[in-house]
Every structure is written in C-alpha cells, then in structure tokens.
A and B are shown apart, each in its own frame.
Chain A
Amino acid sequence: MTRSYSGSVWAMLTPAVALIGVFILLPMALTLWLSLQHWSTQTGFQTARFIGLDNFFEIFGPTSVGRDFKGAFLNTAIYTALSIVLILPLSVGLGLLVHQRHVAGGSVLRTVLFSTYMVPMIAVALVWSKLYSPTEGPFNQMLGWIGVGPQPWLSSPDTALVSIVFLNVWQQVGYFTVLAIAGLTQIPHSLYEAARIDGANAFQQFYAITLPLLRRTLLFSAVIAIINAVQVFEPVALITQGGPVGSTNVLTYHIRRVGIERAQGGLGSAMAVMLMLSLIVVIFALFALARRKDDE
C-alpha cells in the first residue's frame, strides 16, 4: 500500500468529485454569493447586482417579506422540535419492544414500522389528508367511539402543523427504531446481569445503563431527524399550501416559492443561508451538549 497510484487515484475520484463539486459544492457557494445579490432566478448569474446585506435586512424586516420568512422559520422550528420530541423517545421504546426476548414477534413489529419509511411522502400526504378528513375520515370516527368530539386537523391554524408532525412521525419512526435497536445490541448483556444481582429493577436499569449507553445513538438520531424535519415539503405543497393562515408555511416550501416560483433568487438564497446557519448552530450545540455529558 505504500506504492503511489496517483494516476489511478484521480481516475477513481474524478467522477464522484466532479459531480458533487458541480451539483452540490458549486451551488452551495453560489447560494452564499447570491444571498448578497439582487438577482432574478429567470436570468443568468451575470445579471446579479451586489447589494450587501440588504436581503438579510429584508427577510428580518417589518414588511410582508419579513413577516412571511419569520413565520416560516418559526413554523419549521416548532415542526422540527415536535418531531424530535416525539420520534426519539418513541424510537427507544419501540426499539426495546423489538429487542426484548420475552415475547416473540419483534421482527414483525420492526418490519411493519420500517416499511412506512419506504412509502413516498407524497402518498403519505395523500392518504393522511383523507384519514384526517373531518366528516368522512376514520380518525374523527374513531375519536367519536371513545367520546371525543371531531377535530379540525389540517383545516384549522391551531392544529394543522401538529397534524403534519403526526404523519411525519408515523412515516419516519421505523427508521429511527432500527437505529435504536442497533444501539441496544451494542450494550453488553453482562451489565444488566450485574445490575440485577445488585437488585436494580427494570426502571433503574433503564436509567443507569440503557439510556447513558444509547447517548451516541440518540445524538446521531437527533441530527438525522433534524435534517429530515427541515425538508418537509410534500404535505404542505400538496395539501395545505402553507395554510390555513400561514400556519404550515415551512422553510423548504417558502424558499422554493420565493426563489423559484417568484424568481426572487437573492431573497430565497438569503433564506437558505439562514436555514443552513441555524442547522450548523443547532448541530454543534447538540454535539457540545453530548460531549459535556460524556465528561461528567
């Protein structure tokens, strides 16, 4: 392996590096550059005109552009936080159920949970919009059976965003369950035996052994879940169009509407930069938090 294969190295790397360079890294750099320009998406890049930080002032300003962006940003933050808060504990609970050895059927549960991850989001959105239907949908019918009144689901600004969180959790939780199971199988069985000998009950074992040793898995899951959550698009584009009254206007939908449909490429790019910066900050904060816990 000490011999150099410099010719081969480049032959092997060029296809992947060139494609990722032209179609991901270059657009990334252009997004940063365009965020400082006045530019219409319908014209070439050479028509861009430098305007400093004006786009950023505008998207945080008091005009309708600013109001819409700040609304979309807040909606995305709420959507992401709710998704994580539901998905992570569920994935650990479901992982424990699949992993336990007292009752058979764990692999069936895993298969069913994970299969929803293969369903195109567009089909999930279509099916759930009908499940949520206030009159002829089965959800309100079932709520009626247990004496709960009909819910407006996607048609009220108070419940629309949460309703989309639910369908997202349903689709994604199986994937995170598989990750949790991978983490659980890494925990040595002897730790539980030792704890049992010391008289620890199931809950004490969970808090003293399972949860601390799953920390790395949960960190990984949280990062992936955040990145997936900010990409929510199909249910909004197809069913709610950002409404009612802007309650489901999320960033991926909003940035595409501004930057592609309204062709305001500079403004859209500034919004994309803010999304990326926020992601970087949140993910670094998560890693810092996990490291502090590791040191304890």
Chain B
Amino acid sequence: MSTLTGTLYLPSFLYRMAVLFSSAVSGSGEQASSDKIDYSTFDREEMNERAEYLLNNYGNAVLRLAFSYVHNKEDAEEIVQDSVLQLLRARPVFENGKHELSYLMTITSNISKNRIKYNARHQTVELNEEIATKDTTEKDDDHSFILEACEKLPVKYKEVIHLFYCEDYSTAEISKILGMKETTVRSNLSRGRDKLKTILKEEYGYGI
C-alpha cells in the first residue's frame, strides 16, 4: 500500500531517488565503487575531481544512454554535461558507486526526454538525423542500421531496449531507474523487441 501510495502521489523523481537509496541496484557500471559517497561534504575542488571521475568511469554509459534517446552525439554530450552538473548540484549521498551510477542514469533519462521535447518544439529533428547518421555510419558501417532502426521506435521502447541489451540491466533494475513498474518494463521490452524485429526485417533485411 505504501509503495502504491508512493507511486501515485510522490513526484516521480523523488520516488525514484527513494527507491534507489532504499535498495541496492546491481548495474553494469564500469569500476563501480563500494565506498560511501557523500557529495554534501565536497568542496569545489573535490567536486571537480568527482566530475572527472564520473566522466572517466561512467561517461560512455551515460553518453550511450543519452544517444539512445536523442540519436545525436552533440545533444548526447550536452546531456552528459547537464546530468553530471545536476548530480553535483543535488549533493546526494550514495551507499556505493552502483547507486551513484543508477542515480546518474535516472538523471540522464529524464534530461534526455526533456531534450526530445525541446527538439520537437524547436524543429531540429531533420538536422539531428543528418548528424546522427553521419556519426554512426562513419565509425561502424556494419551495425549502424541497428541504431537507425532503434531511432524509429517510440521512446518508451528504445529506453528499455538500450538499458536491457546494451547496459545489461535486469528488468527490476530498469524499473527502478525509469521509475515504472517492472511489469511495464517487461511489456515495453517485449513490444519494443517485436517492433524492432519487424523494422530490422522489413527495412534492413536483418534476420533474428
């Protein structure tokens, strides 16, 4: 009942944070630390050092998550910067590095969704598509079509597909990061997979 109440009434962001603090999330973070991290005790220099640590250890994961939303590397890099800044300003306390990464992924997810809305309002989709295509095709011609196919999926499907397939999170962990029910994550994952399968097969001749 309390969980239901929290789900319904607490602002989603606070709910997600509460869940993240209350239970351990075993993510796929790179070099996740097990020491307690208290940002509230950091001075400015320590903040800068921590920012560097975050970018070195979680930068790629955060960038890829952002990219899975916006499909634009420049936008994704801005999202990485905003996410790190938001984390530093929030001055949270983490039990360990895994919590810190999950928190960062949640922030990234929210900021990415906001960026999608912003881009839609400012009609920069066509330009972004060009940049995204250019970025991916230049570096990996063999598999860039998979990213193009993912771009055609609704946000609710591609976010779970990315976290599940790329970051190797379980559905329970994804539900905590995205602040949704695990059953919803599963159904979104299943439907997203089917849609992606169809797109890959029909448009790219890719057989699964």
Are chains A and B native binding partners rather than an unrelated pairing? no
B interface residues, Cβ below 8 angstroms from A: none
A interface residues, Cβ below 8 angstroms from B: none
